Structure 1
């Protein structure tokens, strides 16, 4: 997903307010390179960046919003993804963390997060990462691709952000007298000063920087602006000292550049010179990196499929049961159910738009499906005594129930995966339930796939191979999505986020092989 900038919450909510109709059309070791090349445009940011200057004309003069020594020390355990830089424009777009990499230079590097990103305002939000890491942690997975020098990736934040027209604003941060950082990293990092495009280009992307050492146990470092130097390979006429650069600063970047491999990092504190207190930084919470998986095109269903009897379910048709083709004879397969975090100490619930129940069951969801042209509701998330983010979800059994009332197991390999059409104001997760015994055996680390939030509607075709166990799982029983499909009990649509209210509507569900989610569905939110 490409995004050029981080939009303020007001803008996001405004878009959501006018984009409520979902139709079928929506388917829709060193700062210096290994081979020094002063012309390399390292200032370019990867597709996961926010606030990247598109042209020099988009950068305004130093912000007039500056306040003396207004930078507030950011500490990860406080739980905020945004740094109060004290120099933000009225749009309040400064200080948000974002990632960058070398893809525009031909590299294939990326920052891999330990938990899925995304919150109620932005599917690319790093708030879940900050919550999990008590800082900003991840893995720089470095792959040079076609580059001739060491690959790189990292994280950054902007000092002033944007003005009301979306122009990037520089800030005079001389009053900070430098920067301090508490962190841990498996390789050296550089802290780089980023300016507007014209200045970056004029100095051949030889931006003033400091190199901070590798530290596995965590450390705290402090640097004055005068410590920031342009690299020794730079021979250009236009020189910028760190002290001068602080007067026109757009962003600070924290870059990991090394030989190809995976390098964990955790930034737990950022402040002005001398303000850091030494917040501990832990690397052990970061799991191994999963291999890159390319999703199939969202708008093109797969071609000829192996034989299966799973029929695509469309909410607008009003049926409460999905014909999975795997019923065990109990006629209990495919019925939607809901669940929550109450068994773990949470107090979350789903609020339905109309009362549930029919003549056979008080828990039946038929009225909701008829009302919503899908399965819709509001996830009201409340942590209770939980120490992690609360959750609720809905799901359905593939084969139905056994005589003991437990979810039966079936080999669902033939359907190849799942297609789904939905709206959700929080980024949901699609999980594979494997039955109580196997779920418990793997510590409830079921294979799953993260979905994006969408207020206007989105359709996804997801093969079993895309379902992965979470990176935190270190158990001996490792399962791929394909293996899990041979022992499948149910599919669950789970919303887990910060306490709050999140709307959702599931409008179509079908098989990956032969499914027809959304293309011809007259679906309403």
Structure 2
């Protein structure tokens, strides 16, 4: 279900892992008693890459040396001019000032673990990086997906003194990318310290590396919400060391056989009132997600799921009242009435989709769908909607959907779908049944298909064999981008993300433009999804 990032793409950690083994102190290192005050500062010994050298690092002062700023409690505006990286603004590189051309890897996020010194902790990141994707494109994709830089750590005991995972960035990058991996050093004394906005389900250590062997450390506590914490170089006893810094890293210590999740959303120079205004809240991806447990940043205007409700008949709204585009409760239409056809009369035709070429699986239907089957409308009478059974051969997406404006040129066999502006709809109302959580995806076609569906705007409808009606405005569609764009969509998909050998049944019974109505009448179980109806039309 998860993808292990061994070296983020090998080349990405040419920028990062070269100096990571000193995060794995050798036998002389006394592991601190983690879990104390979230704002305490430790005295730590750093060690070299297995050559026996160590150097004492003087820790900070009292627990008040760490200043906590939260968006909910801050009364004084933050000094946003001091913000160096804010994922909620679309940034993916920390602006250290040492690599303006982005050629040396300065400010590029990377993953680290206890692996170089014999540890076996595994680091996982969402699978959003394509094969041979550059380290910059990969980092950008991860930040877009998470709304932050996020990772999961599966802690395992090896032969290293510490068990940990983490992430970090180099201040000035490396000397000669892909040739010499010697780290460059930068003077960041003018920062005065550092502010970090993060969420974590375990304690986190911030480490400032002044050379290959020495780091200065402060402990930040776990936080279920994104919180900004600021610490000065003086509090770290690193005023002089801050003139010669290779990297800043965030380490999550763990215990054998446990997990941890860390998500960093912003980094800035020190300011007592904070440096970065982060727009959003911490959201833990649910069990229905392939990235279950990851902590991501969601826009503060977005909801986690579309609200759905059903009530006994009486003082309630009939689902058909919000199903003006597609109504399976009456004599169903053969197409979704989008009102946005591009003149080809190909909009709104239902189709099934899945990555058949990659063997994800198949969508079994009572009758084929698509514009080439214009005379076959028995499926709509049989399902009172559009229904199908999804069979997964391996992990991926399967489902049904329709093109909003149709296709560009019906005379061409591989003509792409036409773009459409659906912003005026305000959102969607969906009446459905599904025995697995169902994702409604605002898709746009790319060369060769829909591209990466996990990165497209979506809302999640909870599984239910009873018919449910849910209405959500566009702000409730979660997206990896700063906001949902509804001006260039081509298709609306109803998809299940499944695992190998899984099966799922879905039925889309009604569709309409957004409505604020919530109290919908209950119409009972869906015969197809509940299994009372089979796949064969009789």
TM-score by length of 2: 0.43
* Larger CA Rg, structure 1 vs 2: 2
Give the TM-score of the pair, scaled to structure 1. 0.44
Question: Greater strand share, 1 or 2?
Answer: 2
